[in-house]
Chains A and B, each alone.
Chain A
């Protein structure tokens, strides 16, 4: 018996379990190394939590897991989950094909209740009060564990098998906050996905430096001293700094002194700088790949644990679609991490989202999506639930031309059009023609992240146009739990009377699933998907004879029959994006 065998079974018994990890001390009160003394360090013993600790220097952090389930869960005997969940609302990741995705979140509502403290208070026998008659579970939990933010929590949805065992699928979140909803004893625990770490208001790239010049320097000085004393510890042993509008490389550090200065780098001009001038350390990327840049921003500036980044998957995706493309960029002015991530993703034509089931950050380049294996077909008879299918055009997402600004002039100037030397324009003239939309829709990308390369810029622009030149259609539908194997990022073909061909027959239209939400949990799922172009999964072609004209000169018939190979950047001789062998 497995999760998948139970979800397709008629009469399945859904169950939801929530686990919360909180910090917990492994020491015993008053026993070495804990130096707490009852009556001296406190009038009563701690609860082995940091908040109640009486010897914080020796707090030995481990994890204690609390396990909760819905009130009617009827879990197997001995499970021990506390049945106090009244509602679980999972807001899934929403895939935004134009950049960073909307984070997934979960709201879990609990009912408060009296609790005997057994299993939560390690010194219950030493208390002089009746725990059941004093306070409530969540009231005491909150008082003992106020430091919940960013601690892991897991939402396990699944089924109770006939063998009495619970089979679940786990989603991973991080605690955002604990709210006391009302005076009736309702508690709400809010969890968000890993990308929440990129949303902190104080998280910036580069991190805001706190040093200033201890004394003024001339345009040719090769060392400087930072102030206040000790601030040098927060600077690297080598790197790049910005003072006023000059970028300076340094090769050594001794205490608060930066040495081996190379002045006026990055196209800036050497100048003298006054005492107390801000010394901002820069984030420097030199011939780095997009995955390397994203990883650096996420791990070094957003505090994301590197274990959540599947480095080899990202590397493979990069090798497949971005090839040898690398970036050399200096970030000298601190900006919000999320803004920088959006900029990198848009510039590279890629998307980033949190897969809460696999507990991984997924990164994918926007390309004409090719299915992996057989594409699932969803129809109105066997899959789509009654009355659930809705189709709408998302005109605001249509793009008919992409203007990409390239070659940043100065790393110390604002990132706007005036700070770029070059522009490329890629236009889908057919969709803009009077017989089509008769209007243009512009996507403007200020791109300091790719090198000056017309084919490369055009390739990225073409990827946007292939996806968005025709007004994207979005569909919403519901599926039974038996189809829960379909998830965000999957490709499906939908056959419906609401997706008709010109002749009125039901068309098979290909979509990318951008959101899936279990509701009711364990029983049905609400899906959102965006149509992807071109339709179809490819065609058979012939190899042409020698002396065949190239793509630009080939006839339509030849183009249909023969395979034409693009250049290294994936562009055909007429600069159109070419077909690709997967």
Chain B
């Protein structure tokens, strides 16, 4: 059973948004073109090392049909080479007569992208990928984002700046610098929940916590100021449960590991 409860209100202004609900997991998904070795399921299984690949390039649709209308207000993706052919990815819903686009991106690189829009409810959705050649797509998600009551505070490192790597330096016996290897370990970042009411934590954080225990998600810590600073990430190690920090309010810090390139 999939339990997903997200903040239905997009009115919160913290801009600290998490995209973990993926409507593609809740309905029937059909791709207009598919390489049998790279099925469309690979695009929404949250695994970044397997890919959906169509049989040919062009305009390829991934169509979702739900049993009942569901709302969405974000569209996110990671792990694509559509940008190499100057292609685009967009999200559309069916209004009963025609398809209407709610989000569209022409990515310049492979960095994770998370695009928010006014909430729309529909039973039919589709992702449209346009590329001149066959492409690969690892993760695509859309649904309703979770917005934290407050954003991240002092002492916190934005994911874009939280690059983590191992360096191996070679220095000769005579002290000469001979070379360096660089092993990227993605980005390391904290997700800080602060001043969340008891009821908010019970209603919204707990389902997200359950998702974090099993799957990655998209995280954009300040969508209002830096909408392109999204990270595809996952909880690292154990997940600290929320605790009371003020009377009636709770908070926690979760260590995340992710990728931004």
Q: Which residue of A lies closest to B214 (CB)?
A: A114
Pairwise interchain contact A380-B173, C-beta atoms closer than 8 A: yes
Asked if B90 is at the interface (CB within 8 A of a chain A CB), the reply is no
Q: Which of A78, A80, A388, A481 contacts B179 (CB 8 A)?
A: A481
In the complex, A570 has a CB within 8 A of chain B:
no
Contacts of B182 in A (CB 8 A): 11-13
- Interface residues as binary, B160-200 with A (CB distance below 8 Å gives 1, 0 otherwise): 00000000101111111011111111100000000000000
The 8 Å CB contact of B41, one of A12, A116, A384, A481, is: A116
Q: Mark A377-398, 1 if CB is under 8 A from B, else 0.
A: 0011111111111000000000
Q: B92 contacts the other chain (Cβ, under 8 Å)?
A: no
Q: In the complex, are the beta carbons of B172 and A13 less than 8 A apart?
A: no
Residue of A nearest to B257 (CB): A72
Cα–Cα, bound, A389→B261 (Å): 40
For A380, list chain B residues within 8 Å (CB): 172-174
**How far apart sit A361 and B180, CA to CA, in the bound complex (Å)?**
33
Q: Is the CB of A382 within 8 A of B170?
A: no
Which listed segment binds B: A38-46, A255-263, A364-372, A519-527? A519-527
Give the contacting residue for B171; candidates A74, A385, A389; CB below 8 A: A385
What's the nearest-Cβ distance from chain A to residue B134, in Å?
Answer: 9
Interface residues of A in 351-377 (CB under 8 A from B): none
User: Which chain A positions have C-beta within 8 A of B179?
Assistant: 8, 10, 12, 480-482, 523
Does B138 reach chain A (CB closer than 8 Å)? yes
Is A524 touching B174 in the complex (CB atoms < 8 A)? no
Interface string of B37-53 (1 = CB under 8 A from A): 11101100101011101
Q: Is the CB of A386 within 8 A of B51?
A: no
**Contact between B80 and A381, CB atoms less than 8 A apart:** no
Q: CB of B7 within 8 A of chain A? A: no
Q: Per a CB cutoff under 8 Å, which of A14, A385, A496 touches B178?
A: A385
A381, B51: Cβ atoms closer than 8 Å: no
Q: Which one of A388, A523, A524 has the highest number of Cβ atoms from chain B below 10 Å of its Cβ?
A: A523
Q: How far is the CA of A524 from the CA of B173 in the complex (A)?
A: 14
B residues within 8 A CB of A8?
Answer: 179
Known: A82-B49, A118-B50, A523-B170. A13 touches B184 (CB 8 A): yes
Inter-subunit contact A382/B172 (CB<8 Å):
yes
Give the distance in Å from the alpha carbon of A142 to the alpha carbon of B39 in the complex. 24
Establish whether residues A12 and B45, one from each chain, have CB atoms under 8 Å apart when the complex forms: no
CA distance A405 to B50 in the complex (A): 64
The residue on A at minimum CB distance from B39 is A118
A157 to chain B, nearest CB (A): 12
B residues 18-55 touching A (CB-CB < 8 Å): 37-39, 41-42, 45, 47, 49-51, 53
Chain B residues, Cβ within 8 Å of A504: none
Given A72-B186, A116-B45, A523 and B181 contact (CB-CB distance below 8 Å): yes
User: In the complex, A14→B168 CA distance in Å?
Assistant: 10
A11 pairs with B49, CB closer than 8 A: no
A72, A132, A383 — most chain B CB neighbours (10 Å): A72
Number of interface residues of A (CB under 8 A): 38
The answer on a CB contact under 8 Å between B81 and A522 is no
Let me know if A119 is at the binding interface, CB within 8 A. yes
Q: Give the docked Cα–Cα distance between A177 and B172 (Å).
A: 39
* Contact call B181/A14, Cβ cutoff below 8 A: yes
In the complex, A334 has a CB within 8 A of chain B: no
Residue pair B79, A77 in contact (C-beta under 8 Å): yes
Residue among A82, A132, A389, A524 with the highest chain B CB neighbour number at 10 A? A524
Question: Is residue B259 within 8 Å, beta carbon to beta carbon, of the partner chain?
Answer: yes
Q: Identify which of residues 209-261 in chain B touch chain A, using a CB-to-CB cut-off of 8 Å.
A: 259, 261
A384 in contact with B184 given A77-B110, A78-B81, A116-B41 (CB within 8 Å) = no
When A11-B180, A80-B49 are in contact, do A383 and B172 touch as well, CB less than 8 Å? yes
Chain A nearest CB from B14 CB (Å) reads 31
B136 within 8 A of A: yes
Q: How would residues 474 to 485 of chain A score, 1 for a CB under 8 Å from any chain B CB and 0 otherwise?
A: 000000111000
- A74 to B50: give the CA distance in the assembly, Å: 12
Given A118-B39, A119-B37, is A78 in contact with B53 using a C-beta cutoff of 8 Å? yes
A219 CB to nearest chain B CB (Å): 70
Determine whether the beta carbon of B181 is less than 8 Å from that of A13. Answer: yes
The answer to whether residues A389 and B173 also contact, given A118-B50, A524-B168 and a CB cut-off of 8 A, is yes
When each residue 197-210 of chain A gets 1 if its CB lies under 8 Å from chain B and 0 otherwise, what string results? 00000000000000
How far apart are the CA atoms of A524 and B174 in the complex, in Å?
17
In the docked arrangement, what's the CA distance between A497 and B172, Å?
14
Q: Residue of A at shortest CB range from B45?
A: A116
Give the contacting residue for B173; candidates A10, A118, A388; CB below 8 A: A388
What CA separation (Å) do A497 and B100 show in the bound complex? 76
Complex interface: chain A residues within 8 A of B184 (CB)? 13, 72, 74
**A81 CB within 8 Å of chain B:** yes
Separation of A563 and B39 alpha carbons in the complex (Å): 74
Complex: chain A residue closest to B181, CB-CB: A523
B41 and A118 contacting across the interface, CB-CB below 8 Å: yes
In the complex, what residue of chain B is closest to A119 when comparing beta carbons? Answer: B37
A83 at the interface (CB under 8 A from B): yes
CA–CA, A194 and B39, complex, Å:
38
Pick the contact of A72: B47, B173, B183 (CB < 8 A).
B183
Write 9 A-B pairs (CB below 8 A) sorted by A numbering.
A76-B81, A83-B49, A116-B45, A379-B174, A385-B172, A385-B173, A482-B178, A523-B168, A524-B170
Q: Which B residues form the contact surface with A (CB < 8 A)?
A: 37-39, 41-42, 45, 47, 49-51, 53, 79-81, 110, 136, 138, 168, 170-176, 178-186, 259, 261
The 4 closest A-B pairs by CB, nearest first: A78-B136, A480-B170, A381-B174, A523-B181
Q: A387-B173, A481-B181, A482-B170 are in contact. List 19 more A-B contacts (CB 8 A).
A: A10-B180, A11-B181, A12-B180, A13-B181, A13-B182, A72-B184, A74-B184, A74-B186, A77-B79, A77-B80, A78-B81, A80-B49, A118-B39, A385-B173, A386-B171, A480-B170, A482-B179, A523-B170, A524-B168
